[in-house]
Structure 1
Amino acid sequence: MAERLLLFWVFLVFSNGAKSQLDELFFKGFKGGAASNISLNGASEIEDSGILRLTNETQRVLGHAFYSRPIQFKNSTNGKAFSFSTAFAFAIVNQNPTFGGHGLAFTISRTKELPGALPNQYLGLRNASDVRNSSDHHMFAVEFDTVLDLELDDINGNHVGIDINSLVSNKSVPAAYFDDKNSKHDLDLNSGQVIQAWIEYDSSSNRLDVKLSPSSVKPISTLLSFEVDLSAILEESMYIGFSASTGLLASSHFIMGWSFKMNGEAKSLHLNELPSLPGPKGDQTALKIGVSVSASAVIILVIGLSFYLVRKIKNSDVIEPWELDVGPHRFSHEELKKATRGFRDKELLGFGGFGRVYKGTLPNSNTQVAVKQISHESKQGVREFASEITSIGRLRHRNLVQLLGWCRQRGDLLLVYDFMPNGSLDNYLFDEPKTILSWEQRFKIIKGVASGILYLHEGWEQTVIHRDIKAANVLLDSELNGRLGDFGLAKLYDHGSNPNTTRVVGTLGYLAPELTRTGKSTTSSDVFAFGALLLEVVCGRRPIEPKALPEELMLVEWVWEKWRAGSILEVVDARLGGEFNKVEAVVVLKLGLMCSNNAPKARPTMRQAVSYLEGELALPDAVEAPDAYDGKKGGAAASEYVDSYTTSSSAGDDRDVDLESGYSSSLLSIPR
């Protein structure tokens, strides 16, 4: 008898332990006890009606709502993910009758807080640094995205996507649903109507299905299906919930009800049993003028109000229709003003002919940025400028300074970049720098910049010719990694096409000789400028030093003479005190001479240059002398060669002005 009681007791213990693992949720609204089971973060809140509101009508905010306890998603024995299913009713109500943003997502996450996540196109899930190649390899989300973002390869501004370890969807489709006759209809996520979504994962077939409907009836046909084994993505225990965000334009994202089930089918929701959406707010701005107010007082009030409205409209951020098509990179002027503390002088990083650069901190995310304030008085089309932002702004490489966004107000143009705390490379090389870079730091910077240029030339969907590679445009992050910035003179071409620019732009000392004759910038002319950069990093000198001795006037010729004399190491920056890797120094100097060759076809490509620097390819034994042009080569003597630089770089209104900060020149200066 005692043995039976013991066995029964053991059975009860293990039975209760199994039941303690939550495997089903069902919320018809979030009132009372339901609210206590939801963990809120950001702008999210539960209204008195029981509706879960993830975001409000505030620009650039995010909201999170997670079930407060983790869910077991994997079999601890074999590591296989369980099947699961969820259904929820949501609605997106735009602040603007036509446009809103950005969307919401159902997500399975390691944490309920999602630290470091940003609003805008990141949907409160990720940020700019890990949007594609996330270090978190346990990300799962199904997004309901209402803004087209080119950076994330969105298919349109009204789609459903499956995101695994990246906000670039593994698969996405335009939002739609199937009716009871199995006919497909378009579905506007921004319509403000209540929509029910079903997400189902079958671990036996490794298949994920997503369905939508504006009704309580679950469609037979699947809108979006994707084959994936989530066993490697899901951890044994994770949180489930929702994330949403707003951007330049805001939407309110609501969740009316939610069901979830492990290893089974989640219950569908009856929409008529769920909390109703809040009604439109009444007009609280109308002025009530008493009948006793005299006619003169009314006139004074109208005149004052008119002046106020005119001033308000004059200084407002006007949003034109084209701006809604170029992606969510537009900041409001007020936001950048707040970020830079009113553009005060204490935040000034540098200034020059194109404007000023300020340090700023974005108020909603505490992200440090560099804000370039440009006075824009030219008549060049703003649409043309926007097309460049949508292209240059999509470049993504660890050795490029990231353009985060822009703002346009009246005649002013503001460009927003990643903040580089250590400024530009030239401040560490020339004159009397406060800090002397070690050889290891210099070599790392050189290799990083080379990698970034290779990406521009070959790694992106178009060929990008930078046209202004120099030390002042190489910025250093907190770890002294080199990042190439200033795309104000950049040119984009389709791979294999021929450049057609005939205007010479660039900076004195970095222009390839052929530019004075053809005016056509190429990847080879970028390589020439990179050669000048290599030499100045090793030597700690500018490409042209007017105050130097005549034989040292042009850096490339001086280095070549030392090379030919067998004393090449004498050109290495004396401030290193002889502490440098001699083999690496010779490689960089030899490569600098090869890149500085007068003949474009004799220069290496950037792919070859990277291979030389990485030691994957041996440098050739012979190096052709990069002499100044002589009569046979169609040029001039060394002094005339310098003059040709000066003439060509100052011709026209496209000459680059070297800002002290090194941040980008106006993209409006890009010639066509």
Structure 2
Amino acid sequence: MPGPTVVAVKSLKGIGHADKQFRAEVQTVGVIKHTNLVRLIGFCVKGNARFLVYEYMSNGSLDSHLFSEKATLLNWDLRYQIALGIAKGLAYLHEECENCIIHCDIKPENILLDVEFCAKIADFGMAKLLGREFNSALTTIRGTMGYLAPEWISGQRITKKADVYSFGIVLLEIISGRRSTKRLKFGSHRYFPLYAAAQVNEGNVLCLLDGRLEGNANVKELDVACRVACWCIQDEENDRPSMGQVVHMLEGVVNTVIPPIPSSFQNLIEGENSRIYSDEG
């Protein structure tokens, strides 16, 4: 690297899981390049220690900006561009690489932001490579609760649509500035994605916008983003769009119709008091 360069060094120690994580990262992000993927500059193995050298992301993680009061508040334009960047990165992994790559751990902590707040997908330690003759993989790795697709939770084989589900949850968090697992104030269920799906179905999306933005958002983009998120979290993987389709929706290339409320959510809504949809603010 010519001249002084700031980098980020990730250290993995031990054997077993650490070795698998190291190999997964080198075999995925180590051999591909895309604007919306964090760049692996180099790696080193010394005894049981393994080191991965990445480009430095000066604005940290998306998680820190969405959920920390100390970080810079992301305006709507930045949020929409970040969401689109994540979608483009995943579309590249799923549809443009020689082998389809399922990231398996899409969440705000694994989305890094460079000096211009360009989104970069990071942490490929759980990634799965699928040859073009395969479309699914069996994984025993425990992902992050709150972002796992129903088929993963039930122990079925996963496809790239598991990443689509995780993206949908992340998109809801980008829109709302709240963790999807954070409960609403009233009611017996109080699951935020359920609340969001119901509001989108009714065409009431402004109530989902992060209150700190004080309503400052492109309403058309907000509506599209909310619809896309709810398409991505459909129960059946075949009902979810591909990430390429998500990119086209967010870019306005195709029309995004209102999605149905996922059947698992619908079962929870029936008979529930409407107060479960009251946000705690």
Q: Structure 2 length normalisation: TM-score? A: 0.88
Q: Confirm or deny: 8 A CA contact 1:551 1:558 kept in the other structure.
A: no
Match of 2:144 among 495, 500, 507: 507
The equivalent residue for 2:49 is: 412
The equivalent residue for 1:370 is: 8
Q: CA deviation at 1:388?
A: 5.5
CA distance in 1, matches of 2:207, 2:20: 52
What's the RMSD between the two structures over aligned residues?
A: 2.4
Q: CA deviation at 1:577?
A: 1.2
Q: Confirm or deny: 8 A CA contact 1:421 1:476 kept in the other structure.
A: yes
Change (3 A) 1:404 1:561: same
Secondary structure class of the residue paired with 2:154:
helix
Q: Confirm or deny: 8 A CA contact 2:65 2:71 kept in the other structure.
A: yes
Amino acid at match of 1:601: N
Q: Structure 1 length normalisation: TM-score? A: 0.38
Runs of 4+ in structure 1 deviating by more than 3 angstroms, as ranges, are: 379-388, 546-553
The equivalent residue for 2:264 is: 628
Q: In the alignment, does 2:170 pair up with 1:533?
A: yes
Secondary structure class of the residue paired with 1:624:
coil
Q: Name the structure with the higher strand share.
A: 1
CA-to-aligned-CA distance 1:70-106 (integer Å, 9 cap, x gap): xxxxxxxxxxxxxxxxxxxxxxxxxxxxxxxxxxxxx
Change (3 A) 1:550 1:476: farther
Match of 1:584 among 221, 225, 232: 221
Change (3 A) 1:536 1:463: same
Q: Confirm or deny: 8 A CA contact 1:504 1:519 kept in the other structure.
A: no
Q: Confirm or deny: 8 A CA contact 2:183 2:192 kept in the other structure.
A: no
Match of 2:59 among 394, 416, 422: 422
CA distance in 2, matches of 1:383, 1:567: 45
Q: In the alignment, does 2:216 pair up with 1:570?
A: no
Q: CA deviation at 1:627?
A: 4.1
Match of 2:73 among 408, 430, 436: 436
5+ residue gaps, structure 2 = 270-281
5+ residue gaps, structure 1 = 1-117, 119-363, 632-636, 639-672
The equivalent residue for 2:102 is: 465
The equivalent residue for 1:606 is: 243
CA-to-aligned-CA distance 1:315-361 (integer Å, 9 cap, x gap): xxxxxxxxxxxxxxxxxxxxxxxxxxxxxxxxxxxxxxxxxxxxxxx
Q: CA deviation at 1:536?
A: 0.5
Secondary structure class of the residue paired with 2:67:
coil
Match of 1:491 among 128, 146, 154: 128
Change (3 A) 1:411 1:528: same
The equivalent residue for 1:593 is: 230
CA distance in 2, matches of 1:521, 1:546: 27
Q: Confirm or deny: 8 A CA contact 2:198 2:261 kept in the other structure.
A: no
Q: In the alignment, does 2:180 pair up with 1:543?
A: yes
Amino acid at match of 1:506: G
Change (3 A) 1:379 1:570: closer
CA distance in 1, matches of 2:118, 2:133: 31
Q: CA deviation at 1:486?
A: 0.8
Amino acid at match of 2:55: D
CA distance in 1, matches of 2:23, 2:196: 43
Taking every aligned residue pair, what percent have the same amino acid on both sides? 36
Amino acid at match of 2:7: V
Q: Confirm or deny: 8 A CA contact 1:400 1:485 kept in the other structure.
A: yes
Q: CA deviation at 1:453?
A: 0.4
Task: Figure out how many residues of one structure are paired with residues of the other and give that number.
Answer: 269
CA distance in 1, matches of 2:50, 2:66: 31
Amino acid at match of 1:403: L
Q: Which has the higher contact order (CA 8 A, sep 6+)?
A: 2
Q: Confirm or deny: 8 A CA contact 1:420 1:478 kept in the other structure.
A: yes
Q: Confirm or deny: 8 A CA contact 1:399 1:452 kept in the other structure.
A: yes
Task: Give the number of the structure whose alpha-carbon radius of gyration is greater.
Answer: 1
Amino acid at match of 1:423: G
Amino acid at match of 1:505: R
Match of 1:482 among 90, 115, 119: 119
Q: Confirm or deny: 8 A CA contact 1:504 1:515 kept in the other structure.
A: no
CA-to-aligned-CA distance 1:492-543 (integer Å, 9 cap, x gap): 0112413232415311111001112243221111100010011100000111
Q: Confirm or deny: 8 A CA contact 1:445 1:480 kept in the other structure.
A: yes
Amino acid at match of 1:365: G
Q: Confirm or deny: 8 A CA contact 1:430 1:540 kept in the other structure.
A: yes
Match of 1:615 among 252, 257, 260: 252
The equivalent residue for 2:276 is: none
Q: Confirm or deny: 8 A CA contact 2:21 2:126 kept in the other structure.
A: no
CA distance in 1, matches of 2:27, 2:176: 38
Matches within 5 A, 1:195-594: 365-376=3-14, 378-379=15-16, 385-386=22-23, 389-546=26-183, 548-550=185-187, 553-594=190-231
Q: Confirm or deny: 8 A CA contact 2:8 2:53 kept in the other structure.
A: yes
Amino acid at match of 2:26: I
CA distance in 1, matches of 2:230, 2:130: 27
Q: Confirm or deny: 8 A CA contact 1:503 1:519 kept in the other structure.
A: no
CA distance in 1, matches of 2:156, 2:126: 14
Q: Confirm or deny: 8 A CA contact 2:21 2:124 kept in the other structure.
A: no
Q: CA deviation at 1:390?
A: 3.9
CA-to-aligned-CA distance 1:454-500 (integer Å, 9 cap, x gap): 00001111100001111111100000111111101100011241323
Q: Confirm or deny: 8 A CA contact 2:194 2:265 kept in the other structure.
A: no
Q: CA deviation at 1:567?
A: 2.4
